Chains A and B, each alone.
Chain A
């Protein structure tokens, strides 16, 4: 039966994995994603699922085993963070290019060096071009809901791409929040049976998987992959609508929070959005027309839909929780691209924050809205790019 539970973000992911009961889970421990696999291993040990776990010797092997298992013909899930995702990097591309709907919980954590175990998005953003669908979540509930939707999106025959479900390390993964845990049977009913395509274990129709693909074919295969990712956009919306009908919670490609008449808007990803909403509510009470656009789907990126949602907005502050050294933040680049063809372009600028888990408090968010108020008043963006809350400059 559906019930309200108090649970960590990581715990919510392992509960969801229990409900999905995948065929195979290859996994390797890395902070802060470890709890997902620890809890799930206990479910296996207690016979609550009949999944086969492979306790591989590295994340590279984790993704390799995911790929082998998926191609063999079944549903496959895993979890990782930070350096673990970095070590998977080669295999992330291969998994996507071989069109396997592998499901990955990515508990976002900073990349080394300096070594740091706390939240930022450098792991996911480093993998943004790998060909994986990327969904982000503000809190435990959203991460859990995204993971329920993940198989239906990834396994859709117009998509067949791997998907990563992201949440902020520690801030969400290790903090207890209340959320609605859905009924096991209802989750299973929603997800349905896995359907394989050209499974390796079909010896009656033996398939060759992973052939050498030279000048004559490679680019057509890449284009087919691109089209699948474009298809994913409408499939995310379709599955979200089905989810709403099933479970009553609404999702889209992004969330518009008090955006309708907003003049000054922050665009951000993941847990910081919770605080931003609080600040917006405060300021709205004082008549300040501020709003938030919270990214849910970063890949595929909904350019047209975002441009449409920002119509009438006068200034946009894009918050990036990762760096692209020598360039603007990855979210900013997408947003400015989305706005380029808008008839009335808002002012738009970029702030980097929260690297390695540095907190952004509500007072800091007030400062952002104060700053963009000044920019709007003077008609000039004083600093296109800057760091928030950083010493020395």
Chain B
């Protein structure tokens, strides 16, 4: 694996001058797309999302690699088409170089409206890496709740009020849904850890077949945090176990990072304006419920990782 210094010397996929919000961490990902592997032509596709609108306002484009966007709910399908055409032309001898394909969507375009086309693309086995940058709401349209929105978050469609503490119920666990597709590689990563992310991206790209990476990516206006806080808030999201870093290779779970000390989820939450209302004592039961859910998920994950470790020990 090249060092971050070496990677930084390589040609990036994404130019400066784009119109992402100040402090948005998504360009950490996009700049990395061409830097983690050698020897492949990289082609990217985007679902409609913040990244798409802020990187391609005609007649300008921040993309230095071939890039396609057609609609909100279909990047899995449109990139299936691109990847299949590559195979068709390769078979007919019209293309010789090796290519790799990357689809990028937000959580709205991936967990919700794009879930079907993502599922189809993964199930059919296209050689495609799908990266969801999960900021926990429809941020591009102005912070509406998605199925990735965490419990208690205030969004414009789950606002707080006399009868509401924000988003009710628990978020969907998309990474596990992707594992259920029996694909070769599924991982959760966080935008604050470029070493971990770049290693995962490299594994996903080099795999021959579909791969999925779910990437925690704080949103400055949506999470109501200062523009220099995205990386720190993402880091704390991992430290409090809200967003475990793990990978699933051929169905086997490995936790990539175990926090050294216990950080209550409330510490992470109260850095963010979207949870501020929950700091009132009246909501302590909601905070407890969120903490419980975080622990339940972590234990579930730890059990998977432990049983995998046990199994491989028995096999060996």
List A residues at the B interface (Cβ < 8 Å).
23-24, 26, 50-52, 54-58, 60-62, 64-74, 76, 90-91, 94, 98, 200-203, 206-214, 217
Which residues on the B side are within 8 Å of A69 (C-beta)? 81-82, 84-85, 88
Is A60 in contact with B74, judged by CB distance below 8 angstroms? yes
Is B57 in contact with A65, judged by CB distance below 8 angstroms? no
List B residues at the A interface (Cβ < 8 Å).
41-43, 45-46, 52-53, 56-61, 63-71, 73-74, 76-82, 84-89, 91-92, 95, 97, 99, 116-117, 119-120, 123-124
Is B81 in contact with A54, judged by CB distance below 8 angstroms? yes
CB-based closest 6 A-B pairs:
A68-B81, A61-B77, A65-B81, A72-B85, A57-B120, A69-B81
In addition to A72-B82, A72-B86, A74-B89, 13 A-B residue pairs with Cβ atoms within 8 Å of each other are A24-B81, A26-B77, A52-B85, A64-B117, A65-B77, A65-B84, A67-B81, A74-B85, A76-B85, A201-B95, A203-B97, A208-B61, A211-B59
Is B84 in contact with A94, judged by CB distance below 8 angstroms? no
A-B contact pairs, 9 of them (CB 8 A): A52-B84, A54-B81, A58-B116, A61-B80, A67-B78, A72-B81, A72-B82, A207-B66, A211-B61
Is B85 in contact with A24, judged by CB distance below 8 angstroms? yes
State in angstroms the CA–CA spacing of A26 and B79 once bound together: 12
Is A203 in contact with B53, judged by CB distance below 8 angstroms? no
Is A68 in contact with B70, judged by CB distance below 8 angstroms? yes
Chain A interface, DSSP helix/strand/loop, else mixed: mixed
Is A68 in contact with B80, judged by CB distance below 8 angstroms? yes
Given A56-B120, A61-B77, A90-B71, answer yes or no on A206-B82 (Cβ-Cβ < 8 Å): no
Which residues on the A side are within 8 Å of B124 (C-beta)? 54-56
Tell me the number of A-to-B contacts counted with CB atoms below 8 Å: 164
Is B73 in contact with A60, judged by CB distance below 8 angstroms? yes
Which residues on the B side are within 8 Å of A202 (C-beta)? 66
Is B116 in contact with A61, judged by CB distance below 8 angstroms? yes
State in angstroms the CA–CA spacing of A58 and B86 once bound together: 22
Which listed residue, B81, B86, B123, touches A26 by the CB 8 Å rule? Answer: B81
State in angstroms the CA–CA spacing of A61 and B52 once bound together: 19
State in angstroms the CA–CA spacing of A200 and B83 once bound together: 11
Which listed residue, A56, A94, A200, touches B82 by the CB 8 Å rule? Answer: A200
Which residues on the B side are within 8 Å of A214 (C-beta)? 57-58
Which residues on the B side are within 8 Å of A52 (C-beta)? 84-85, 87-88, 91
A77 → B minimal CB distance (Å): 12
A52, A72, A90, A214: most-surrounded residue (chain B CB, <10 A): A72
Which residues on the B side are within 8 Å of A58 (C-beta)? 116-117, 120
Q: Write the chain B residue with the least CB distance to A95.
A: B70
Given A69-B81, A212-B52, answer yes or no on A200-B71 (Cβ-Cβ < 8 Å): no
B65, B74, B79, B123: most-surrounded residue (chain A CB, <10 A): B74
Is B66 in contact with A211, judged by CB distance below 8 angstroms? no
Is B68 in contact with A212, judged by CB distance below 8 angstroms? no
Which residues on the B side are within 8 Å of A207 (C-beta)? 66-67
Given A52-B88, A209-B69, answer yes or no on A68-B82 (Cβ-Cβ < 8 Å): yes
